[in-house]
Amino acid sequence: MEEIGKNEREEIFSSVMKAGKRTYFFDVKSTKSGEKYLTITESKKKFDNENGKFYYEKHKIFLYKEDFDKFTKTLGGVMNFIETGELPEVDAENGFDSDFSNVDFDHIEKSKE
| pLDDT tens per residue, range 2-54 | 444 454 446 899 999 999 999 999 999 998 888 999 999 999 999 999 999 99
Query: Looking at residue 8, what is its pLDDT?
Result: 45
40 dihedral zone (left: phi>0; alpha: psi -120 to 50; beta): beta
- In Å, how far are 45, 87, 92, 99 from 58, measured between CA atoms? 9, 31, 29, 29
- In Å, how far are 20, 55, 70, 72, 100 from 76, measured between CA atoms? 22, 33, 10, 6, 17
pTM, two decimal places: 0.69
Residue 90: is its pLDDT beyond 80?
no
We find that the CATH architecture of domain 6-102 is: Roll (3.10)
108 secondary structure, DSSP code? S
Q: What are the structural domain ranges in the chain?
A: 6-102
Considering only residues 87 and 99, tell me which one the structure prediction assigns the higher pLDDT.
87
- Label residue 91 by pLDDT band (50, 70, 90): confident
- Label residue 89 by pLDDT band (50, 70, 90): confident
φ, ψ for residue 90, nearest 5 deg = -80, 120
- In Å, how far are 21, 55, 112 from 51, measured between CA atoms? 21, 11, 18
| 19: Cα separation from own chain's centroid | 15
Burial class (CB in 10 A: 0-12, 13-18, 19+), 90: exposed
pLDDT mean over 68-78: 92
